[in-house]
Structure 1
Amino acid sequence: MGRAEKTIKKKRKWLWITLSVVGVLLLSTAGYAYSVWSTAAKTADSIHEELNREKSDKRDEEVDFENLDPISILLMGVDEREGDNGRTDSLILITANPKKESIEMVSIQRDTKTEIIGKGIEDKINHAYAFGGAEMTINTVENFLDIPVDYFVKVNMESFKDIVDSVGGVTVENSFAFDYEGESFPKGTIELNGEEALKYSRMRYDDPNGDYGRQERQRQIIEAVIQKGASISSLTKFGDMFAVVEDNVKTNLSFDDMWKIQSNYRSTIGDIETHELRGTGDKINGIWYNIVSEEDRLELSNMLKEHLEISTSTASQ
C-alpha cells in the first residue's frame, strides 16, 4: 500500500469527527452571535446552499422552530477535487429533540450498500454524492433510514485540526498510556491541541479494544469540542470558528435558522447519544460492500422516528 493510499484511508477515519463537531458548532455557538452579528450573518450567507425543495417529502408540514419540532441534520464529509464531484467520505445523521433535551448521532459507513435514489441502481451510499451531489445524497439517506432529512451540513475533509484549535484545544480522560506518531499520551486527564487530538483519535492497533477503543476516543473528542464550543464567550475564538466554517462548510441552514435553533434547541447538547450502523463486509462482483441487515436498519429507523416524534413503521425498503 502506497503512502498516498495510507493517507487517504487515515483521513477518512476522522471525517465523521469533523462533521459532528461542525454540525454541533452550528447548533451551539450562534448564541453569542448577537455580539458579532455582522460577521456571523456574513459567514452564514457565504456558506448557504439551497436545495430544490422547501421540505422533506417525508414530512407533512415544515419544521416549526418555535413549536420545538425535533429536527434532523445530515452531516457530509466531502472529498471534492477539481473536475470531479468527489464522494462523501463520511455521513452522520443528527436528530435533535428539544423537548427530550437530547441528540442522537448516527454514523453511516461509506461502503453501505443501498438504493441510490434518482439513479435507479444499488451502490455504495457514498457514491450518491458523485452521481447527484448533496440533493441525491439526502434523498438516498432518507430512503435508507425512512426518515426526513431537514437540513444538511457539507464540510471539507481537511478542517478537523482547525476546528479543535478554534475552540482552544480539548481536555480528555485517557484510559491507558500509549505513544503514536511521535506523541506520548499518558494515562489520566490530558489536554490536546488539534494535531495531538488527531493522533489521539487515530491510534488503533495498540488498543486492547481495537477499533472499538479508537471509536471511543473519537467520541471523547467530539463531546469535548461540543462542550468547549458551547461555553466559549471570547470574540477572538468566535472569529476563529467563523473563519473555519467559512472556509470549509456549506449548508441549507440560513442565519435565521441557526439563530432560532440556538435559541430553542441549545438544551439538546447536554445529552448526546452516539450510534454506529454496523453491518457485515461482503464482496459482490469483486467490490467490497457493508451489508446492513433489514432487522438492524428497521431498529435504527424506528429509534430515530421516535426521537423525531413521527410514527414508526416496520415496512421494508
Structure 2
Amino acid sequence: MKKKVLITLGLLLGVVFVAALAYGFYLYKSVTDTVQEIHEPIDRVTDKREEKVDVERAEPISFLIAGVDSRGDDHEGRSDTIIVMTVNPGERSVKMLSIPRDTRTEIIGRGTIDKINHAYAFGGVEMTMDTVENFLNIPIDHYVSINMEGFKGLVDALGGVQVTNEFSFEYGGYTFPEGELYLSGDEALAYSRMRYEDPRGDFGRNDRQRQIVEAVIQEGAQIGSITKVGSVLNEVGKSVRTDLDLDGMWTVQSKYRGARHSVEQLEIKGNGTRIDGIYYLEIPSDEVERVQAELRGHLELN
C-alpha cells in the first residue's frame, strides 16, 4: 500500500513538473512571438547625447509614447497622443509630459512649422522623435507606438483599469461620475478622448490620456496579471509597436521597474491662436525652457 502511494505521488509530481515545463514553454513562446510582432527597429542617431544610454547600468532613459488615431490594426495616421516619459531609476521616479497635439513647432526633416502631431503623418515615428527632441532639447531613446482604437483590447485583457476622475461628464454614450472609476476598454477609450466638455480643453484630455497609460503600466506590472498573459500578449501584438527587442525589454523591466511607484504628471502651457484660419497652440519660449530644464535634470544631462 505504501509503495502504491509513493508511486502515485511520484506520478503526480511528474505530471505537475511536465505541466509546469509546458506552461513555461508556452509563456516563453508567446512572449517571443509577440515581441517579434511588435518589434519595429529604426535607424536613427540622436545628437542630444554624447553616448547611447546604458540600460545595463540603469542610466536615466526616455521614451516617446505615440497614440496613433487609426482604426483596426493600422498604425498609420496622426499621433493623437504624444507623451514623453523620462525614467530615473536612481531617484525611483518617472515624469510624464503630454505635448498638446496642436502645439506649433518646427517639423524636423520637413523644414516647416506645423502642428506637432502632423510629424507622424509626414514621417512616422522617426520624424516624430526628431521633432520632439528638437522641441524639448532632450534625447528620445526609445519609442512605443500605440493604436488607440486597438488599445481598448489591452485594457480589457488586463481586466480594466482604475483612474481618478476630477469631475463628472458624459461622452461616447458613457457616464463618468467624479471619483474613483474602474474602466473597461471601451470606457477607457471614451474617457481619454473627451475634451469639449472639459474646461481645460486639450490639457484636460491630455491628463486623462496620461492616466490611462499610467494605469495600464501599473496594472500590467501586477503579479495577478500573469494569469492573463495569453490575452494580454495577443492584444499587445495587435496594438503596440516599439524599437525595443526582447533583450532590451527584459533589461528595462528588471533595471527600471522600481521607478514606476513615483509618477509625476507634467504640463506645458500655451496660448491658442489662429494662423491662416488654422488653430495652433503657441508655447512661450520661457515655458518651453522651463519644461526642458525639468526633463534634462531628470535625465541627469549637463
Common topology (TM > 0.5): yes
The whole-number CA distance in structure 2 between the counterparts of 1:84 and 1:174 is: 29
Whose Rg is larger? 2
The residue matched to 2:295 in structure 1 has which SS? helix
1:24 paired residue number: none
Which of 43, 50, 54 is equivalent to 1:52? 43
Q: Tell me if 1:66 matches 2:66.
A: no
* 1:273 Cα offset (Å): 0.8
Which of 118, 130, 155 is equivalent to 1:127? 118
The whole-number CA distance in structure 1 between the counterparts of 2:275 and 2:95 is: 32
The whole-number CA distance in structure 2 between the counterparts of 1:83 and 1:192 is: 24
* 1:204 Cα offset (Å): 6.1
Q: Could you list the per-position Cα deviations for residues 46-100 of structure 1 after superposition, in whole angstroms to 9, with x for gaps in the alignment?
A: 11112223x4221111111121111111111223589995322221111111001
Q: Provide the aligned length of Structure 1 versus Structure 2.
A: 278
The whole-number CA distance in structure 2 between the counterparts of 1:291 and 1:209 is: 16
1:253 paired residue number: 244
Q: Aligned runs of 1:51-200 on 2, under 5 Å?
A: 51-53=42-44, 55-79=45-69, 86-173=77-164, 182-185=173-176, 189-200=180-191
The whole-number CA distance in structure 2 between the counterparts of 1:92 and 1:150 is: 13
The residue matched to 2:264 in structure 1 has which SS? strand
* 1:132 Cα offset (Å): 1.8
Q: Tell me if 1:41 matches 2:32.
A: yes
1:224 paired residue number: 215
Query: What is the TM-score with the length of structure 1 in the denominator?
Result: 0.77
* 1:246 Cα offset (Å): 0.7
Asked if the contact 2:68–2:76 (Cα under 8 Å) also holds between the matched residues in 1, the reply is no
58-67 vs 214-223, greater mean Cα deviation: 214-223
The residue matched to 1:56 in structure 2 has which SS? coil
Q: Tell me if 1:280 matches 2:279.
A: no
Task: Write the letter of the residue equivalent to 1:134.
Answer: V
The whole-number CA distance in structure 1 between the counterparts of 2:149 and 2:230 is: 19
Asked if the contact 2:219–2:225 (Cα under 8 Å) also holds between the matched residues in 1, the reply is no
* 1:175 Cα offset (Å): 5.8
The residue matched to 2:33 in structure 1 has which SS? helix
* 1:161 Cα offset (Å): 2.0
1:25 paired residue number: none
The residue matched to 2:85 in structure 1 has which SS? strand
The whole-number CA distance in structure 1 between the counterparts of 2:197 and 2:69 is: 29
The residue matched to 1:139 in structure 2 has which SS? helix
* 1:183 Cα offset (Å): 4.3
The residue matched to 1:250 in structure 2 has which SS? strand
Q: Could you list the per-position Cα deviations for residues 123-170 of structure 1 after superposition, in whole angstroms to 9, with x for gaps in the alignment?
A: 111222222222111111111111101001112121232122121113
Asked if the contact 2:85–2:97 (Cα under 8 Å) also holds between the matched residues in 1, the reply is yes
The whole-number CA distance in structure 2 between the counterparts of 1:170 and 1:43 is: 22
* 1:104 Cα offset (Å): 0.7
Percent of aligned positions that are identical: 50
1:293 paired residue number: 284
Query: What is the TM-score with the length of structure 2 in the denominator?
Result: 0.80
1:28 paired residue number: none
The residue matched to 2:59 in structure 1 has which SS? coil
The whole-number CA distance in structure 2 between the counterparts of 1:147 and 1:123 is: 20
* 1:224 Cα offset (Å): 3.3
Specify whether residues 38 and 203 from structure 1 end up closer, same or farther in structure 2 by C-alpha distance, changes over 3 A only: same
Task: Write the letter of the residue equivalent to 1:91.
Answer: I
The whole-number CA distance in structure 1 between the counterparts of 2:70 and 2:210 is: 26
Structure 1 stretches lacking a partner, 5+ long: 1-32, 312-317
Asked if the contact 2:154–2:232 (Cα under 8 Å) also holds between the matched residues in 1, the reply is yes
The residue matched to 2:280 in structure 1 has which SS? strand
Asked if the contact 1:36–1:235 (Cα under 8 Å) also holds between the matched residues in 2, the reply is no
Structure 2 stretches lacking a partner, 5+ long: 1-23
Task: Write the letter of the residue equivalent to 2:216.
Answer: V
Asked if the contact 1:77–1:157 (Cα under 8 Å) also holds between the matched residues in 2, the reply is yes
222-231 vs 40-49, greater mean Cα deviation: 222-231
The residue matched to 1:86 in structure 2 has which SS? coil
RMSD: 3.0
